[in-house]
Amino acid sequence: MFNEMKTDDQVREPYRALVEWMEASGPEVLEQKRLEAETLFRKIGITFAVYGEGGDPERLIPFDLIPRIFTAGEWRKLERGVKQRARALNTFLYDVYHNAEIIKAGIVPAELVFKNAAFEPAVIGIDPPRKVYSHIVGVDIVRTGPEDFYVLEDNCRTPSGVSYMLENREIMMRMFPDLFKSLRIEPVEGYSDMLLKTLKSIAPNKCDRDPNIVVLTPGAMNSAYYEHSFLADQMGVELVEGQDLFVSGGRVYMRTTRGPERVDVIYRRIDDDYIDPLCFRSDSVLGIPGLMNVYRSGGVAICSAPGAGVADDKAVYTYVPDMIRFYLGQEPILNNVPTWKCGKPDDLKYVLENLGDLVVKEVHGSGGYGMLVGPASTKEEQVTYAERIKADPGDFIAQPTLSLSACPTFVESGIAPRHVDFRPFCLVGDNIRLAPGGLTRVAMREGSLVVNSSQGGGVKDTWIMAE
Amino acid sequence: MLSRTADNLFWLSRYVERAENMARLMEMGYRMALMPSTGDGNRSEWESVLSASGCQGGYDPNAPLRQEEVANFLIFNRDNPSSIINCFEAARASARAMRTAITAEMWEALNNALMELRRPSIHNLAKNELPEFIDWVKRQGSLFRGTTDSTLLRNDGYDFIRLGTFIERADNTARLLDVKYYVLLPETSMVGDGVDNYQWTTVLRAASSLRAFHWVYRDDYSPYRIAHFLILNPFSPRSLAHCSEHITQHLERLARHYGQRRPVHGQAVEMYSLLTQSDMEEIFANGLHGFLNDFQARNRALSAAIAETYHFGGQ
């Protein structure tokens, strides 16, 4: 296992100043700071609700004080790799909703795209502004060694967690002003401004003024509601629910105390299925009837575009390196994790024979639900899971259990290494923008590889050291 | 601003004010119950409080009408929509639904109040030290209004918050007066004796107005003057006239802000004129109870008209 702070008892270079500071401060000071941080989070109300688990609907995500640090060089590679991926994924989306060259070329199988539940026939042939579908791409990256980074998955729809990137930094700067003064850490606070620029740059064709932007949330009961309100607040735009919007005369309006007000760009944090009950799920009360008609006629921009989900399917994921070669003529800068597709008979056989060593995931699942972590599972769990795979092999993929890197983390017994991953948020509009940072998630249980906050994972601040 | 946001701001401040008013009602009941028994024919003080709270319907008819049970019902009962804990739950839920429209300080005031109320230890305080608890609730109201006053932009949102506060407060003052005049001492034979006077001063206390009253009227506690202070005196911060004046002003500000005058503005001015053009003799002669009932009906109608005018509830 690669420990990001120490190799062979030598503190790695980016962590040196931090370790010196921690040793000088002593455990009591650190414990005090930890308590202060928790109080701050609770007071501000940064919380995360977990669906279907009962208990406190506003549980705190555990915040770990010890930051995760990248050197400038490491970041340069990650940055180039993430931008490359975001560009390829958007090109792929435009392609599959238009000429489907990549399918004609025999690189991606047709049924994988066209029979995919996330493929949206309603947007075939539509040109979204600047041909961008996924305006915010969250790329989940893990590390297994000093030079070894792998992309675990792409999130092209509505990746969440960026508010933690921003708030974690706020809290850290409040707790450790000295460290920020003496070290040169790249600031992340430009993100909100980049997001606003990106959203403005994708105003629809019919928009003839400074676009009116809104953030569309399913409401206060949604697990990421805090983030929705935070981003709206940071950008200074309205946070709306479906009930606040309506369609009239080919445009979208919001209900205000002055009467109707036109909306040009919708940054929606609602799934495709729910945005328009006339076009998608008729039982949805979250959406806006008629929205898709306005979208089709260029009266409103929707971010991410409906149908973007087909690019972040776990089966499509396996083809992203091929997309990069096909569309951009480049070699992928970041590698995929080797993946077995259970839909292929040979792969299925291998997976069933090696369940104890693999991580198996549902192709359409997200949030760490419904996966099997082989080495951490019992024989019984493996047998039960094998039955599920056999029932519908095409719904599952498997990957080797990577030895994820670990970062020192506060736990009950003191400071101990815990596994981490990393999600930077890449913005795509008139430009491709990436704030120097991201969300580091940490598995709080010893040995656990599951970092999802819905499964008890925590978060850390991520420091990119300036050159 | 979004209609839904305006709706939330309006109700948020109504709920905070209502929680505080529940506490004030209990303060009145608690003080009245300290008096020696007032003899046969009087309804119990706590029954009066319950009746004035407007949530008597939800009270278990078999439960005793004692401080412990009634206070518990008005503070912690989850089935009573106006219980103090439900008021704070509703206020915070509204606040959470439009975090961007209020300041961090206002949010913290509401969030902390609810966190405290959810703690088991507060039950003991309410049970054993009711006056302490009542003060605590009043402090939460003050904190919310204080943070609003010192941190919120003076835009239309501010007007909706203040409208909620004054509409709810006017309703409460009318209730306080009504409970004294109609519910507590209906028999005319008792009006004007020592107990009666004590009860009138208790109404003043519950309105935090005892000292203010002294400054204005010196030492004469006549029911007439106390009623005047709480109904017609524009300088008394909980009087109907004062609340009504503020309601009118904030509606005027909205009219200027939006450049639109609507029927609701006329309605508010009419309610205000009723208070500036009446005198106490006339009110008492025609019956205080009838006057208060009429005022409450107008106040409710005004609240509904505000909701309609500014498209609350997705109209």
Q: DSSP characters for A264-289?
A: -EEEE-S-HHHH-TTTS-TT-SSS-T
pLDDT at A284: 74
For residue A311, the distance in angstroms to the closest alpha carbon of chain B comes to: 32
B7, B8, B100, B102: best mutation site toward chain A, by most A Cβ within 10 Å?
Answer: B100
Beta strand pairing call for A6-7 and A10-11:
antiparallel
Looking at the DSSP bridge assignments, the partners of residue B67 are none
**Cβ–Cβ gap A257/B107 under 8 Å:** no
Q: What is the pLDDT of residues B87-138, one digit of tens each?
A: 999 999 999 888 888 988 899 899 989 989 988 889 999 999 999 999 999 9
Q: Starting at the edge strand that comes first in sequence, how are the strands of the sheet with A259-263 ordered?
A: A245-248, A251-256, A259-263
B314/A243 Cβ within 8 A:
yes
Residue A275, domain extent: 6-332+403-464
pLDDT over 90 percentage in chain A: 61
Q: Do B306 and B264 touch, CB atoms closer than 8 A?
A: yes
Q: Is residue A1 part of a domain?
A: no
B96 contact residues in A (CB cutoff 8 A): 45, 220, 225
pLDDT tens figures, A59-71: 677 888 899 999 9
Residues of chain A with Cβ-Cβ distance to B93 below 8 Å are 220
What b/e string do you get for A184-201 counting C-beta neighbours within 10 Å, with b at 16 or more?
Answer: ebbebeebbebbbbbbbb
- CB contact (8 A) between residue B6 and residue A244: no
Tell me, yes or no, if B156 comes closer than 8 A to chain A by beta carbon.
Answer: yes
**Span A114-139, average pLDDT:** 94
In this structure, is residue A147 part of a structural domain? Answer: yes
Report domain extents, chain B: 3-314
CATH of the domain at A363: 3.30.1490.270
Cβ neighbours of A240 in B, within 8 Å: 2
Verify that A255 and A344 share a domain, yes or no: no
Are the C-beta atoms of B84 and B23 separated by less than 8 Å?
A: yes
Instruction: Give CA torsion, residues B258, B259, B262, B265, to 10 deg.
Output: 80
DSSP state for residue B183 in the 8-state scheme:
I
- Which chain B positions have a beta carbon within 8 Å of A219's beta carbon? 97
**B8 contacts B161 by C-beta, under 8 angstroms:** no
Instruction: Give yes or no for B99 touching A (CB within 8 A).
Output: yes
Minimum CA–CA partner of B310 in chain A: A257
Mean pLDDT across the stretch A27-49?
A: 75
Same domain, A395 and A407: no
CA distance A192 to A390: 45
**Which residue bears the tokens 């009245």?**
B32
The DSSP 8-state label assigned to residue A261 in this structure reads E
Say if residue B83 is preceded by a cis peptide, omega within 30 of 0. Answer: no
pLDDT of residue A367: 58
A112 and A212 co-located in one domain:
yes
What number is the ipTM of this complex? 0.79
Classify the C-alpha dihedral B205-B211-B214-B215 as positive or negative.
negative
Do residues A309 and A379 share a domain?
Answer: no
* CA count, 13 A, side-chain hemisphere, B22: 32
Sign of CA dihedral A330, A331, A332, A336: positive
**Considering only A121-130, A272-281, A361-370, which range has the smallest mean pLDDT?**
A361-370
Q: Is 90 exceeded by the pLDDT of residue A447?
A: no
pLDDT band at A7 (very low <50, low <70, confident <90, very high): confident
Same domain, A116 and A93: yes
Could you tell me if A230 and A166 are in contact, meaning their C-beta atoms sit under 8 angstroms apart? Answer: yes
| pLDDT at A185 > cutoff 90 | yes
Chain B, residues 225-254, CB within 8 A of chain A, namely: 254
Q: For tokens 């050197």, what's the residue?
A: A71
Measured between beta carbons, which residues in chain B are less than 8 angstroms from residue A230?
99
Written as one letter, the residue type at B257 is H
Total-model pTM: 0.84
CA A240 to chain CA centroid, Å, is 22
Query: Would an 8 Å CB–CB cutoff place B108 in contact with chain A?
Result: yes
Taking the Cβ of residue A225 and every Cβ of chain B, the question of whether any pair is shorter than 8 Å is answered with: yes
Last residue of a domain, one of A400, A426, A449: A400
Contact A255 B3 (CB under 8 A): yes
Query: Which of residues A41 and A417 earns the better pLDDT score?
Result: A417
At residue A301 the predicted structure's pLDDT band, cuts being 50, 70 and 90, is: very high
CB distance B311–A220 less than 8 Å? no
Q: What per-residue confidence (pLDDT) applies to B187? A: 47
Domain total for chain A? 2
Is residue A285 less than 8 Å (CB to CB) from chain B?
A: no
pLDDT digits (tens, 9 = 90+) for A352-368: 999 999 999 888 766 56
- For residue A411, what pLDDT is reported? 83
Amino acid identity for residue A375 in this structure: P
Q: Which residues contact A392 (CB under 8 A, 6 or more apart)?
A: none
Q: What is the pLDDT of residue B314?
A: 56
Domain match, A61 and A97 both: yes
Asked if residue A74 and residue A138 are part of one domain, the reply reads yes
Do A224 and A178 sit in the same domain of this protein? yes
pLDDT given for residue A430 in this prediction: 95
A252 and A207 in a single domain? The answer is yes
Residue ranges in chain B modelled with pLDDT below 50:
39-42, 186-189, 315
- Same domain membership, residue A353 and residue A238: no
Nearest to A168 by CA among A20, A61, A50, A23: A61
- Tell me, rounded to whole angstroms, the distance of Cα B106 from its chain centroid: 20
Q: Which of A272, A303, A367 is nearest to A49 (CA)?
A: A367
- Closest to A66 in 3D by CA, of A111, A118, A30: A30
Residues A132 and A256 in one domain: yes
Residue A120 covered by a domain: yes
Verify that A175 and A36 share a domain, yes or no. Answer: yes
**Which residue of A lies nearest to B113 if distances are taken between CA atoms?**
A43
Q: Tokens for B164?
A: 């909620």
Q: How many C-beta atoms lie closer than 10 Å to residue A440's C-beta?
A: 27
**Which residue among A400, A422, A446 closes a domain?**
A400
Among A257, A262, A267, A286, the strongest candidate for a mutation testing the B interface, having the largest count of B CBs within 10 A, is A257
Q: What is the pLDDT of residue B188?
A: 47
